[in-house]
Amino acid sequence: MKMQDHVKTVLKNDSQPDLGCGTLVVNLFAGLAEVAGTRQIQLDWKSGTAEVLRIQLGQICPSIVKLLSLSAIAIEHEVVDDTMLVCEGAEVNVFPPVSGG
Amino acid sequence: MKPFHSNARVACVRGPIDAVSYVHNPVDISVGARVLFVGTTRGSTGGVVTHALEYEAHEAAAVHHLNGLASRALNRWSLSECVIVHRLGRVPVGEASVVVCVSAGHRAEAFAAVEWLMERVKDSVPIWKCEESSDGQRRWIHPEGGRMTPAISQEEWS
């Protein structure tokens, strides 16, 4: 996957990077992480809706667009509506369709 | 947020699950039925031979959502106890990936609760399985019905 220059990817999921102001770390899981080629995408972010975040993630990483459209955006544990505001520094998780059991 | 029910016991584990260990004599004498469900790795799906399944989760979120499901089932079917244990990592064919154990007054409630819980474990908990076929191919399973939705309102909880 080719990433734009301003986007830094962090391959380790167990340590949060030292964040400056206006950044957002988005965690990817399962097939979404596989398609993206990374478990985390870090992007410049002030504030915007989950829908705007979805669009930006797709622009940064076009390979995930299809699966991203089927995925849920969560702030920490809870899935949020696309109209919900996502603030910088929030723990953002993108959950692709689940398949436990 | 509504606190989880005190009789809910949930966990994500990384080793084999001893399913029978979750069935014990209930303290509550109103219990007349205990149902234990054990989900195991099947050796083939749709003609494709499966070597193992590998489960990944957002573990803290998975435990949170499993607690929510167990609490809802406890309230809805007036259960005495509800246990959900999900294994993560590689689960070879024949081994347990998930165990659900409930205690109720009567078997109808116990069976209904387990059926409902398993449906919800499959469609509303951030856990994912990857099928590893006998030829070494790996495939993440992301079913159409598996898109998680925003949390239900407090009114719908019980």
**CATH (residue range B8-17+30-137):** 3.90.1170.40
Cα angle for residues B85, B130, B86 (degrees, 5° grid): 0
Residue A42 in tokens: 């870090």
Residue B96 in tokens: 């347990």
A98 contacts in chain B (CB < 8 Å):
122-128, 146, 148
User: CA A17 to CA A28: how far, in whole Å?
Assistant: 15
> What are the sequence ranges of the domains in chain B?
8-17+30-137
| 8 Å CB contact of B58 and A30 | no
The verdict on residue A3 lying in a domain is no
8 A C-beta contact, residue B138 and residue B132: yes
Q: Specify the residue for token string 């993630």.
A: A57
| 8 Å CB contact of B146 and A97 | yes
User: CA A93 to CA A95: how far, in whole Å?
Assistant: 6
B57 contacts in chain A (CB < 8 Å):
100
The verdict on residue A1 lying in a domain is no
| B42, closest residue in chain A (CA to CA) | A101
Cα angle for residues B32, B36, B42 (degrees, 5° grid): 160
Q: What are B86-102's pLDDT values in tens digits?
A: 999 999 999 999 999 99
Q: What are A20-60's pLDDT values in tens digits?
A: 458 999 999 999 999 999 999 999 998 899 999 999 999 99
Boundaries of domain holding A37: 8-95
User: CA B36 to CA B19: how far, in whole Å?
Assistant: 8
ipTM for the predicted complex = 0.91
B147 contacts in chain A (CB < 8 Å):
70-72, 97
Give the closest-approach CA distance of A48 to chain B in angstroms: 18
Q: What are A2-31's pLDDT values in tens digits?
A: 444 334 343 333 444 444 458 999 999 999
User: CA B44 to CA B15: how far, in whole Å?
Assistant: 22
A27 contacts in chain B (CB < 8 Å):
58
**How many residues appear in chain B?**
158
The verdict on residue A86 lying in a domain is yes
CB-neighbour burial class of residue A38 (10 A; exposed 0-12, middle 13-18, buried 19+): buried
The verdict on residue A81 lying in a domain is yes
The verdict on residue A100 lying in a domain is no
Backbone angles phi, psi at B72, to 5 degrees: -65, -40
B48 pLDDT band (50/70/90 cuts)?
Answer: confident
Helix H or strand E encompassing A59: helix A50-60
Backbone angles phi, psi at B146, to 5 degrees: -100, 15
What is the number of structural domains in chain A?
Answer: 1
Average pLDDT value for residue range A71-78: 97
The verdict on residue A53 lying in a domain is yes
B127, B147, B151 member nearest A100 (Cβ): B127
Q: What are B4-28's pLDDT values in tens digits?
A: 888 999 999 999 999 999 987 767 8
A71: domain CATH number is: 3.10.20.30
Pairing of strands B96-104, A8-9: unpaired
Pairing of strands A92-95, A23-28: parallel
B128 touches chain A (CB under 8 A): yes
